[in-house]
Amino acid sequence: MRALPMNKPLKLMAFAGLAVLVASCSTTTTRAPAQKSTSTAVRATPGLDINRAHKDGAPWWDVDVSRIPDATPTLHSGPYKANPYTVLGKTYFPLQESKTYVASGTASWYGTKFHGQNTANGEVYDLYGMSAAHKTLPLPSYVRVTNLDNHKTVVLRVNDRGPFYSDRIIDLSYAAAKKLGYAETGTARVKVEGIDPQQWWAQKGRPAPLMLNEPQVAQNAAPTITASAGKVEQWTPPPPQHAAAVVPVQIDAKKNASVPASGQYLQVGAFANPDAAELLRSKLSGMVSAPVFISSIVRNQQTLHRVRLGPMGSPGEIQQVQNSVRLANLGSPSLVTAE
């Protein structure tokens, strides 16, 4: 059937309607799709990174680092680890002493990826501890690190090697970096000064405490290799280990049961927070020869984690340990009996 002729006004109206339809279709095809309702979506906890276990970073929860004391410069009675070593084709010759060391440069920090792993001198890295890694300072040694931008200062125990992958001069623990105010930025301009423990304590009018035993070495620590004359240790950094998520310390009832039930003990502190008790225990373990343990009890429906030393021997030993702990500003040990 032949179409009837359309007059000019009707043609114009038809073309106008077609233009509106085309414009409407064009607008519809370029619009972003509607957002789905998020009322039932699972939201991550603020600050939680589910991939953090696969990379280095800060712990999943925050801590008040102002309550973590600086490292205590202590006289070291054993040999220092200062043998030459080679990493990534470059040989480093550690210094034989640290008290005259002064350097300025960039500092970084390391955290969860290495938490709980062995340091270069056999200690266990604690991201909440006040420690550092350095390429050439003897292990162990003590340094004062100052943030040149905000002038905050910390005293640290150097017990590890690094950093090796950049021009940074020192790697700090997470807690140390946070105390210096650069945990969020990752790096900072710092000044590093070696500390002579004897002189450091003399300025305070006190005798320097003596480390009565070597720090406890982890069971899977590699054996110490002594470099002979003209020979350089060849050390290859281990492949990255993915540290498990840091979790609060769980008190082992069996460990507590192994503590002798009789004798005299020194109690240094009692905490509701098991992390605080473990932090104090780890610091004391590197200072005294007496066994250090955590004994947990429940009082008034609250669990207290008591940090204790012992069993103790002679009155002279008790007095010596009490003095060492007080001089290190770690508390005032009181004499108690087993409960």
Under 8 Å between Cβ of 271 and 307:
yes
Instruction: Give residue 56's pLDDT.
Output: 62
The CATH fold of domain 264-336: Alpha-Beta Plaits (3.30.70)
17 residue type, one letter: G
CA dist 114 and 173 (Å) reads 10
DSSP 209-237: PB--SPPPPPTTPPPP-PPPTT--EE--P
* DSSP structure string for 86-145: EETTEEE---S--TT-EEEEEEEEE-TTTTTSB-TTS-B--TTS-EEE-SSS-BSEEEEE
For 244, other C-beta atoms within 10 Å of its C-beta total 10
What are the b/e assignments for 22-61, b being 16+ CB within 10 Å? eeeeeeeeeeeeeeeeeeeeeeeeeeeeeebeeebbbbbe
* pLDDT for 220: 41
User: Distance between CA atoms of 174 and 179, rounded to whole angstroms?
Assistant: 9
d(CA 311, CA 215): 19
Output the six-digit token pair for 193: 């000064």
Q: Is the dihedral of CA 316, 322, 327, 328 positive or negative?
A: positive
Give the integer Cα–Cα distance in Å for 131 and 90. 24
Residue 323's SS3 state is helix
Which residue reads 């040149």 in tokens? 148
What pLDDT sits at residue 118?
86
Between the CA of residue 5 and those of 10, 93, 239, what are the distances in Å? 10, 100, 84
Inter-residue contact 113 to 241 (CB < 8 Å): yes
Distance CA 144, CA 191 (A): 8
- Pair 308, 295: CB distance under 8 Å: yes
Q: CA 226, CA 232: separation in Å to the nearest integer?
A: 9
Residues with Cβ < 8 Å from 254, sequence gap 6 or more?
none
Which stretch of DSSP H or E encloses residue 155? strand 153-160
Q: Which helix (H) or strand (E) is 153 found in, with range? A: strand 153-160
Backbone conformation region of residue 92, classed left if phi is above 0, alpha if psi is from -120 to 50, else beta: beta
Residues of the chain with pLDDT under 70: 1-58, 60-61, 77-78, 208-262, 339
Hey, what CATH class is 85-203 in? mainly beta
Domain residue spans of the chain: 85-203, 264-336
